Amino acid sequence: MADFSSTGISRRGLLAAFAATAITAAPTFTNAAGFLRGAGDIRRLRMVSPRTGERLDTIYWVEGDYIPEALNEITLFMRDWRTDQTRVIDRRAVDIMAASHNLLDVNESYTLLSGYRSPQTNAMLRRRSSGVAKNSRHIIGQAADLRLGSRSVEQVYRAALACQGGGVGRYSRSNFVHMDCGPVRSWGR
C-alpha cells in the first residue's frame, strides 16, 4: 500500500474508498482485538519476506469490517515459499500480529520467517529440528514466526503475550517469536 501522506489522499477519502468496496464480514473476536480498538478505524499489517523478497503493507480492516482482498493478499504473502502452496490465514492470527506490532509502537515491518507450512514442509522441518511440532498451527494457517530488527525477541514476545490471543513462543537463539491463535500458552527461552 502506498504512503498516502504524500499523495494528498485524506484518511476520510481512503476510508470512504474502502467502505465502498468492502464486503461486510463478521468480526473475529480475540483478546488481541482489545489492543486494536485504540488503533482507530483501521488495522494494518506490514511484513517483509527474506525468502521471496516480497513486501506487504496492507490495511485489512476498516471500521469494523475485514477487507477480503487484503486478507487474500496476506494469505498469498504468507504462503509456503518452498512449495508455493497457500492456505487461508486465520483472521485471529492476523489480529494478534497487528496488535503486537501496535503495542511495540514501531513503523518497521515484521520479518516473516514462516507463515503457512504445507504438511510436507512441516515434516521436512521436523526431521531437521526437534523444535517443530508435528501438528503445528502453521499447517492450518494459524501461526507465524516473526522478528523485528529494532526490538529484541523478549520485547516482541512480551507484546504478543500481552494480547492473550493464543500461543507465543520465544526462540532467542534463532531470533524470532512464534505467534498463533490457538489456545493461550507460552514457551521458550
Q: Which domain holds residue 67?
A: 4-188
Number of folded domains that form the chain: 1
Band the pLDDT of 40: cuts 50, 70, 90.
Answer: low
CATH of the domain at 75: 3.30.1380.10
Residue 29 has pLDDT above 70, yes or no: no
Confidence of residue 7 (pLDDT cuts 50, 70, 90): very low
Please write the tens of the pLDDT for every residue from 64-117.
899 999 999 999 999 999 999 999 999 999 999 999 999 999 999 999 999 999
pLDDT at 186 > cutoff 60? yes
Tell me how far apart the alpha carbons of residues 30 and 83 are, in angstroms, rounded to a whole number.
Answer: 30
pLDDT in tens, 107-165: 999 999 999 999 999 999 999 987 888 899 999 999 999 999 999 999 999 999 999 99
- Long-range CB pairs of 74-80 (<8 Å, 24+ gap) are 74/45, 75/116, 75/141, 77/47, 77/49, 77/112, 77/115, 78/47, 78/112, 78/115, 78/116, 78/141, 78/144, 79/115, 79/116, 80/115, 80/116, 80/117, 80/118, 80/121
Q: What is the pLDDT of residue 124?
A: 94
Better pLDDT: 15 or 41: 41
